[in-house]
Amino acid sequence: MNKISDNRGSDRRSQLRERNREALVEATLDCVAELGIARSSVSEIIARAGLSRGMIHLHFETKDNLLKAAIERANEIYYDELAVLLRQAGPSPQETIDAVIRSDLSENVLNRRYISIWYAFRGEAREREVFRRLNDTRDERMRTIILEAFLPMLREQGTPDAELVARDATDGLIALLEGMWNDYLLHPDAFDRDQACRVAFRFIAGLLPDYFTFAGATHKVSAK
Amino acid sequence: MNKISDNRGSDRRSQLRERNREALVEATLDCVAELGIARSSVSEIIARAGLSRGMIHLHFETKDNLLKAAIERANEIYYDELAVLLRQAGPSPQETIDAVIRSDLSENVLNRRYISIWYAFRGEAREREVFRRLNDTRDERMRTIILEAFLPMLREQGTPDAELVARDATDGLIALLEGMWNDYLLHPDAFDRDQACRVAFRFIAGLLPDYFTFAGATHKVSAK
DNA sequence: ATTGCAAATGGACAAACGTCCATTTAACAT
DNA sequence: ATGTTAAATGGACGTTTGTCCATTTGCAAT
């Protein structure tokens, strides 16, 4: 009987196939990180992957699809790190905020390769809808996490207009972290991870003095 | 006598020449804003400028030099706006900070065209030294202005470690403004200029409650 | 051992790229 | 009015681009 390849990845055949697909995505990310999107040609990518020209057409149809797969992969890296730190953090709102800040500034995402890739795609974001969507780490998912952490703290603290302030604090924190990434992009050598962390907490502590100091969340009861 | 063209721009000849040079730079910026750097080809640029192919070679030797001239122009736009608002502002440190924030969020720089151009070049910044340098509006010049405004306020307020806090506040404000630009790039329709302003002042007010509220600098004695 | 077929190869292809230059245009000096 | 020369033109050039496909490779079922 003619079994149409079912791509389960169980047999050696499709394992090798999948590995080559991965190699293309990784080579693309390397290329984008080092040369930028404009200079990331098919020839350059396949040379780095050590594969043949035709592979891109076989796995992705077009170069644009390959770029799309690459930015999807970059997006995963970010959310994986965030998920890990959120799981490690305790349940209190201040610990959630603490985890968000530390994951954003962690070496797993805030490194030369990742930030180069990130801003390369962002530079092309205005025209390509997919790029814009996937490049926006600070999307609704992220916003909701932060907002729902700020709100109970502000309410308990008795801040007037807690809802409005919570939204402002959320947008401010997101913008601040984004700006830190940018600073890293332009001055990777001078960048000081601890200082960036301290700055973020200083700003937040101004709005939530009961919950934060410049050193991080207070009254930590972290389980782990 | 053989007068070698002295490019003073006094005669009609070199006036026209200069106008064409300008047209090329402007067409390049339009192109970069709408298509990104990757898709900004020589053909596309000269079509928009309404000039002939050879003009780029005549005026800029190579396409790379044209791009360099374009980012230099973009840089001017930013600093011109900042200079105007700083001149309009009063002499007090809180008014200086106020001017910096408002110029960064002003419609003259925070608009679709300009921000698109800005992030397009930034995406290529890692590899091209010129791009990195010119794309960094928040360079030493800007840093010094902000730092020297924060410092006397923190000292007068009696904040411990005023120097350290001033540096943190400077880096924080710069990062925050940068993050606002990014937010505008990704969500130009949803972006709220007034809210962005309020968020910035809220964060600063946390460190300098005597000088700022969420609405801006207090005790304004602005001359004009 | 033989066969079948998905996976992978690398050269061919037209299109598009940046650069260059022989020619034309038109502003200025005479 | 005429000659001179800088400015501007647009087609030609050799590369490089992304895509495609006839061929080869090698895993797995027979």
More confident residue, A138 or B34: B34
Instruction: Decide: B206 and B195 in contact? Cβ < 8 Å.
Output: no
Residue B224 has pLDDT above 80, yes or no: no
pLDDT tens across B114-129, in order? 999 999 999 888 778 8
pLDDT by residue (tens digit) across A125-148? Answer: 877 888 888 888 778 899 999 999
**Would you tell me how many other CB atoms lie within 10 Å of the CB of residue A143?**
15
The CATH 1.10.357.10 portion of chain A extends over 74-217
B124/A180 touch (CB, cutoff 8 Å), yes or no: no
Instruction: Note the CA–C1' distance, B20 to C25, in angstroms.
Output: 16
- Distance (Å, rounded) from C-alpha B170 to C-alpha B208? 12
Instruction: Report d(CA B183, CA A137) in Å as an integer.
Output: 11
Domain range B93-217, CATH architecture: Orthogonal Bundle (1.10)
Contact assignment for A124 to B127 by CB distance below 8 Å: no
**CA-wise closest residue to B38 among A39, A205, A96:** A39
Q: Are B177 and A179 in contact (CB under 8 A)?
A: yes
Distance A65 CA to C2 C1' (A): 39
Cα of B117 vs its chain's centroid, Å: 11
> Is nucleic acid strand C under 7 Å from B224's C-beta?
no
The spacing between the Cα labelled CA in A104 and the C1' in D15, in angstroms, equals 43
Q: Out of A63-67, A143-147, B42-46, B130-134, which region has the weakest mean confidence (pLDDT)? A: B130-134
pLDDT: is B197 or B13 the higher one? B197
Asked whether residue B143 carries a pLDDT value surpassing 90, the answer given is yes
Average pLDDT over residues B17-30: 97
Nucleotides of C under 7 A from a protein CB: 5-12, 16-22, 27-30
Cα–Cα distance, B177 to B102 (Å, whole number):
10
Q: Does the beta-carbon distance from A165 to B135 stay under 8 Å?
A: no
> Is A108 in contact with A77 (CB distance < 8 Å)?
yes
Closest-CA residue of B relative to A204 is B203
CATH architecture assignment, domain A11-61: Orthogonal Bundle (1.10)
User: What does the mean pLDDT of chain A come to?
Assistant: 91
Q: Would you tell me which CATH number, out of the four given (3.60.15.10, 1.10.10.10, 1.10.357.10, 2.40.50.140), belongs to the domain A74-217?
A: 1.10.357.10
Q: Of the candidates A126, A199, A184, A169, which has an alpha carbon nearest to the alpha carbon of residue B164?
A: A199
Question: A29, exposed or middle or buried, with CB in 10 Å at 0-12, 13-18, 19+?
Answer: buried
Footprint of strand D on the protein (CB under 7 A): A 11-13, 16, 39-44, 53-54, 56-58, 61-64; B 2, 4-5, 7, 13-14, 16-17, 19-20, 51-55, 57-59
Q: What is the pLDDT of residues A147-188, one digit of tens each?
A: 999 999 999 999 999 999 999 999 999 999 999 999 999 999
Which positions in chain B touch A33 (Cβ < 8 Å)? Answer: 126
Residue B130 binned pLDDT confidence (cut-offs 50, 70, 90): confident
Nearest nucleotide to A65 (CA to C1') is D18
Mean pLDDT of A71-80: 94
Residue A107 is encoded by which pair of tokens?
A: 């070496």
The whole-number pLDDT of residue A3 equals: 37
- Strand, coil or helix: what is A216? strand
How would you label A176-203 residue by residue, b for 16+ Cβ within 10 Å and e otherwise? bbbbbbbbbbbeeeebeeeebbbbbbbb
